[in-house]
Amino acid sequence: MVDFQTTQGDMVAIADEPLAALRAALRGSLLLPDHAGYDVARTLWNSMIDRRPAAIVRAAGAADVIQAVNFAREHRLLMAVKGGGHNIAGKAACDGGLMIDLAAMKSVRVDAADRLARVEPGALLSDFDRETQAFGLSTPIGINSTTGIAGLTLGGGFGWQSRKHGLTIDNLNAVDVVLASGELVQANATHNADLFWAVRGGGGNFGVVTSFEYRLHPLGAEVVAGLIVYPLAQAKQVFDGYRKFTAAASDEMTVWMVLRKAPPLPFLPPDVHGKEVAVIAFCWMGEPGRGEEIVTPLRRLGEPAGEHIGRMPFAGWQTAFDPLLQPGARNYWKSHDFKALNADVERILCDAIVRLPSDECEALICQLGGQINRVDVGATAYPHRDAEFVINVHTRWRDADGDRKCIDWARALFDALAPHATGGVYVNFMPEDEMQRVAAGAYGPNYARLAALKAKFDPANLFSQNQNIRPEA
């Protein structure tokens, strides 16, 4: 007998026989808290989240997902779905419920002739990069190779290639989805088109995606990319130059800025380590031979403390930030969208960076625009087609004693930036305590349609462990 939490918040005891029948029906495995592998399966990237499901289905394929969804629905169980487990809000695990772990479903199959990739939901960005780059192909995804492809895609997905080729969802051809009914359906632009619209930005609200099909684009063996590190004392001229450069940049160039304390990077002098800096991070997707010429203005924004620039494999550049984003730390994010970065934004950020609550905290400015913003606001569930920048306030620390200090710092910076922001927010950057932003902030003009489709595909809100879109009454 195992006690489970239900979708209504009460408890239900499930006898051994139904659990044994579920286990026998799986090609994968069913883990209970005393089983080997349980703690590994329930562990998420953000160590602030420490939830204990009553049982975990480690799915080996779509049939296992169907079995798990049917079991949860029939018993009214609280249910969570884990792909890469990287989501900041930690919604991939639930206390007392049934967790579906997709980590074993990692296949990435490339059709080089048709420039397509079919990807299972447990794949990480590193899996995707290795397979697609072997054929000189790729598509826009995120910047941290340990991120799961499923959660990234379902929220929208952007990275170094997005200004040239759009969001991840703008390059999604089709999905296979297990609905709340247990039915496995395919959705694309012509078949189940309303479901296909909803999963392109609507998160995990509409089902469990068991396969993604992406369009791929040629991407050569090397890109020109790197980091240029400026002391924070030069922030004003760096910001001024950054604004001018990004305003004129072609779609082949993406430049982000990170404000933080300098990590002990090998190309930085030791006396810079631990000092506040403004880091320019860029990737040039155009002809590599032009790269040095293109990035010259970025190297002259001030007097760099150090730089690391050159030709490198794109899959290698995708791992550049992995050492700073390893699992096991406590993380809390607050985020805003911006149409422009003005002098007040610069001042607010610089004032905050000299009061960092831990050495691993940072403010990240992500450049968007380009092809992302040439898509109509109603074309996908993701609505933020006017945002030119995202600022993500990323606090990261190691000890629970630092929770209040770090979270308060993030919230204060978020509040100070709010008057200059659009009011929109990228759903994948929302922490657990921002449910009030889902309707207006995450989805805005598209929320009513999403709520109606939620009522169609998941009227009982079985898929509730996400930045939840509640079914329209």
Plot region of 444 (φ>0 → left; ψ -120 to 50 → alpha; else → beta) = left
214's tokens: 């992406």
CA-to-CA distance for 351 and 344, rounded, in angstroms?
Answer: 11
Confidence of residue 433 (pLDDT cuts 50, 70, 90): very high
Question: For the chain, which residues make up each domain, given as ranges?
Answer: 2-101, 108-219, 223-431
pLDDT score of 177: 98
In this predicted structure, what is the pLDDT of residue 2? 95
C-alpha to C-alpha distance for 158 and 164, rounded to whole angstroms: 11
Nearby residues of 81 by Cβ (< 8 Å), 6 or more positions away: 92, 99, 100, 102, 204, 208, 463, 465
Question: Considering only the top CATH level, what class is 2-101?
Answer: alpha beta
Q: Which pair of structure tokens corresponds to residue 306?
A: 């150090």
pLDDT at 405: 98
* Owner of token pair 């933020």: 384
Phi and psi torsions of 288, nearest 5°: -55, -30
pLDDT the model gives residue 292? 86
pLDDT digits (tens, 9 = 90+) for 364-418: 999 999 999 999 999 999 999 999 999 999 999 999 999 999 999 999 999 999 9
For residue range 132-161, list pLDDT tens digits in order. 999 999 999 999 999 999 999 999 999 999
From the list 89, 198, 95, the residue with the least C-alpha distance to 435 is 89
**Close Cβ partners of 229 (under 8 Å, ≥ 6 residues apart):** 262, 265, 268, 272, 277, 278, 279, 280, 304, 305, 306, 307
Q: Let me know: does 470 contact 99? Beta carbons within 8 Å.
A: no
Q: Please give the share of the chain, as a percent, with pLDDT higher than 70.
A: 100
Considering the domain 223-431 in this protein, what is its CATH number? 3.40.462.20
Q: What is the pLDDT of residues 280-335, one digit of tens each?
A: 999 999 999 898 899 999 999 999 999 999 999 999 999 999 999 999 999 999 99
| Pair 454, 112: CB distance under 8 Å | no
pLDDT at 49: 97
pLDDT at 452 over 90: yes
Q: Which of these, 136, 108, 125, 46, lies nearest to 321 by C-alpha position?
A: 125
Residue-level pLDDT at 206:
98
Report pLDDT digits (tens) over 204-235: 999 999 999 999 999 988 999 999 999 999 99
**108-219 CATH, one of 3.40.720.10, 3.30.465.10, 3.40.50.2020, 3.30.565.10:** 3.30.465.10
Strand partners, 363: 259, 393
Segment 64-83 shows an average pLDDT of 98
pLDDT band at 473 (very low <50, low <70, confident <90, very high): confident
Residue 360 has pLDDT above 90, yes or no: yes
